Structure 1
Amino acid sequence: MTFSLKDRLDASAAATEARLALALADAALPGERLRPERLMAAMRHGALGGGKRLRPFLVIESAALFGIPADQAVTAATAIECIHCYSLVHDDLPAMDDDDLRRGRPTVHRAFDEATAILAGDGLLTLAFDLLAGEDAHPDPAVRIALVRALARASGIGGMVGGQMLDLAAEGRFSGGTPLALAEDAIRDLQAMKTGALLAVSVEAGALLGGATADERAALLAYGRALGAAFQIADDILDVEGTAEEVGKKVGKDAAAGKATLVSRLGLPAARTLLDRLVADASAALAPFGARGAVLAEAALFVANRRN
């Protein structure tokens, strides 16, 4: 039986949702004293019941290239999704992007309050590494250590957090409110860190779970980096052309905030051309996997053409 990309996305999303719900249960785990009710409610609001779960899908499908079943990849996939959800909770705060809507619902700081949202994000961040440290992430401690380091590097100083800092600087937050006129290469660096790093580590995690060779891991990283760049350009195009109903949050904010994007730097036609090239690059990187890479290649097209 063959399954469509939608079927596979839905299956990985359902598996991730179930694992997240288990991890975010109210009952304290060994080593914990108790789990505050309001904190858990806020964490569940920020993590459950929404989103495409693209990053978990990439972990699960990349691991599947090496014969790893979904139930053996879902804990690592959920850990990466915790990082993604924490970043959204914090990105939405007034000190960052100041958004009221996320996935068509009130953001965590609107549904609760700013202090609770900060702590909910902190909780999701630390939960990610709790999940990766457990034997259900992988039976081999060396693989678990490699997963922890890869995710820390992708989500930390030289990855997502550093990219967010560059993004704030580009908006003029630290230069009197005047946005910086970044060159194309600087925008690419910013976006590769802020958005691309977490997408790339998702496929790298699948490679680690599957015991990939160095060449196979490099191929998946090349795919993940092209996919991450394509994802951000598609997101920037949506901010220009999409509606709040489609996207599930405010649109038109990039231009209003003076954000440095490849759409603003290159213009829409050139950005679309670059997007097409990145999708082609992502598909080409999967050549070592032959027909087994077809699902991931289709995912690159999905990312480029999405409307939310």
Structure 2
Amino acid sequence: MSLNARIETAVAAALRSAHGADAPPQLGSALDYAVTPGGARIRPTILLSVAMACGDDRPALSNAAATALELIHCASLVHDDMPCFDDSDLRRGKPSVHRAYSEPLALLTGDSLIVLAFEVLARAAPDGPLRGMELVRLLAARTGMPGGICAGQGWESEPRIDLSAYHRAKTGALFIAATQMGAAAAGQEPEPWAELGARIGEAFQVADDLRDALCDEGQLGKPCHQDDLHGRPNAVAELGVAGAMSRLDDILSGAIASIPSCAGEAALAGMVRAYADRLVPQGARRTVPGE
């Protein structure tokens, strides 16, 4: 079974578990709407790739970890799009959840997906209790405070932003979760995998800055030029397009160099290289002088 098939099958099973005779139909529908059809599923793909590189001896546990991580990511998108934050009308090429279902249901959708993520891990934990507990800890640490995605969103309400902490929490946290949880699901020590996740997260942030600056709404499937609109710091404003592209290449080279020694190291390096090609906005390199 391909990685994508593994992810979609596991995510669909988790969503089915959230439905029932007593469940409010509109909220149940909103959960499905927020999660499917999915985007690139980059974070769970990275998680499963790391698990496979480390042996993937408990695939049911790594599938649960990948699902939980994707549910947290989808929850964050629902909340990010709400009027109190980005006030975005579009997500993945369709109306955002609060536009399609209302603000109250969007808030409840995000909350429900977060709870469902931890329920998925709890259900899988008997397959490896110690690993399951570690997966819960890792996901919680990268979701809440002090350095998870909640902290990342919180930085936007501060009068002065610590840019490094902001990017590490808002964008990097779930990528660090992906690499660490993949290792933990396969019974490996997660700490050595933090740098790879941090570097991939940093690369994603730079690439996202490039897409926001260079792509239109049709290409992105969501509003563009949001960094300028909201006055957020970004790599293109700081370095220019050429400088941001160079920075992206440097980060991805560092990511490959940071991969811990493991049986699947070469395959994982190939995954990072393929991921790099997907990160670069189509045609972006043609905007860089000399390329």
Normalising to structure 2: TM-score of the pair? 0.88
Q: Deviations over 1:211-264 (max 9, x none)?
A: 11x4xx344221111000000110011000011111111111110110122322
Q: What code does the residue aligned with 2:256 have?
A: S
2:236 aligned with 1:248: no
Q: Cα gap change, 1:229/1:165 in structure 2, threshold over 3 Å: closer, same or farther?
A: same
Contact kept in structure 2, 1:187 and 1:261, CA below 8 Å = no
Partner of 1:193: 169
* Greater than 3 Å deviation, 4+ residue runs: 26-29, 69-72
Aligned partners of 1:240 and 1:295: how far apart in 2? 28
Question: Comparing 14-23 with 104-113, which one deviates more in the overlay?
Answer: 14-23
Structure 1 counterpart of 2:9, from 14, 18, 30: 18
Aligned partners of 2:121 and 2:219: how far apart in 1? 34
SS of corresponding position for 2:16: coil
Q: What pairs with 1:93-242 in structure 2 (closer than 5 Å)?
A: 93-134=82-123, 136=124, 139-157=127-145, 158-169=147-158, 186-212=162-188, 214=189, 217-242=190-215
Partner of 2:29: 41
2:73 aligned with 1:84: yes
Aligned partners of 1:204 and 1:302: how far apart in 2? 23
Count of residues in correspondence between the two structures: 278
Q: CA deviation at 1:267?
A: 2.9
Q: CA deviation at 1:48?
A: 1.3
Q: CA deviation at 1:292?
A: 3.6
SS of corresponding position for 1:56: helix
Q: CA deviation at 1:109?
A: 0.5
Q: Cα gap change, 1:118/1:207 in structure 2, threshold over 3 Å: closer, same or farther?
A: same
Aligned partners of 1:168 and 1:265: how far apart in 2? 21
Gaps of 5+ in 1: 1-7, 170-174
- RMSD (Å), alpha carbons: 2.1
Q: Percent identity?
A: 35
Q: Cα gap change, 1:111/1:291 in structure 2, threshold over 3 Å: closer, same or farther?
A: same
Q: What pairs with 1:290-305 in structure 2 (closer than 5 Å)?
A: 290-305=265-280
Gaps of 5+ in 2: 283-291
Question: Comparing 50-59 with 160-169, which one deviates more in the overlay?
Answer: 160-169
SS of corresponding position for 1:51: coil
